[in-house]
């Protein structure tokens, strides 16, 4: 398994193909399916402040992490690993590789209240709860737990 972080120009050029792949990974990897449509992924891949890091096995994309960055604030917008690769440490590997590439920053994310495996991973990574958004997710309706981590380069 290896990490692939394409340049922004490549993300833009391949946005439609990558968006379809991200959507299918999210549909399969998230318990309640993808929170985003293919069109949302396409737009997101093309946005200047958005970045993607992919997990690859050979030529197959097995997962990804997406985030937006404005100055020293980073919001993680998606992290998903295909079901065949879940519970094997690949989400942890993806996180660790990504964190090693970051400058010092404030990291933010939200997680479904019922997504215990993700919540536990984020706690293990040092994220703390800073709030809750009532009925944030729509299918099914569910709260989002807001989390934050102060990342300092060692």
Domain boundaries defined on the chain: 2-151
Please report which confidence band the pLDDT of residue 147 belongs to, taking 50, 70 and 90 as the band edges: very high
User: Are the C-beta atoms of residues 137 and 144 closer than 8 Å to each other?
Assistant: yes
Site of tokens 């996180």: 95
Arithmetic mean of pLDDT, 43-71: 94
User: Are the C-beta atoms of residues 48 and 8 closer than 8 Å to each other?
Assistant: yes
pLDDT at 51: 94
Pick 2-151's CATH classification: 3.30.70.260, 3.90.1150.10, 3.40.190.10, 3.40.630.30. Answer: 3.40.630.30
pLDDT in tens, 61-96: 999 999 999 999 999 999 999 999 988 989 889 988
Q: Is 110 a catalytic residue?
A: yes
Q: Return the closest-CA partner of residue 146 out of 121, 115, 99, 110.
A: 110
Tell me which of 110, 137, 142, 150 is the catalytic residue: 110
pLDDT at 140: 85
| CA–CA distance, 31 with 105 (Å, rounded to integer) | 29
- The whole model's pTM is what? 0.87
CB-neighbour burial class of residue 135 (10 A; exposed 0-12, middle 13-18, buried 19+)? exposed
pLDDT at 30: 82
| CA–CA distance, 56 with 35 (Å, rounded to integer) | 22
pLDDT in tens, 4-40: 999 999 999 999 999 999 999 999 988 777 778 999 9
Can you give the three-state secondary structure of 2-53, one letter per residue?
Answer: EEECCCHHHHHHCHHHHHHHHHHHHHHHCCCCCCCCHHHHHHHHHCCCEEEE
Tell me which of 23, 52, 67, 122 is the catalytic residue: 122
Peptide bond into 140 cis (omega under 30): yes
Please report which confidence band the pLDDT of residue 128 belongs to, taking 50, 70 and 90 as the band edges: very high
pLDDT at 36: 87
> Is 154 a residue whose pLDDT tops 80?
no
pLDDT at 35: 78
């Amino acid at each position: 398994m290896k990490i692939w972080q394409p340049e922004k120009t490549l993300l833009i050029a391949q946005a439609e193909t990558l968006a379809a792949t991200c959507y299918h990974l999210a549909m399969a990897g998230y318990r309640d399916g993808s929170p985003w449509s293919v069109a949302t992924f396409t737009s997101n891949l093309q946005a200047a402040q958005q970045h993607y890091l992919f997990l690859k096995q050979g030529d197959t994309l097995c997962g990804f992490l997406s985030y937006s960055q404005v100055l020293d604030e980073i919001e993680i917008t998606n992290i998903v690993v295909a079901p065949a690769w879940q519970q094997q440490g690949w989400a942890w590997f993806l996180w660790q590789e990504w964190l090693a590439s970051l400058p010092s920053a404030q990291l933010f994310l939200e997680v479904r209240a019922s997504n215990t495996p993700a919540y536990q991973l984020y706690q293990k990574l040092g994220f703390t709860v800073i709030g809750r958004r009532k009925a944030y997710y729509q299918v099914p309706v569910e709260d989002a737990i807001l989390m934050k981590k102060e990342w300092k380069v060692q």
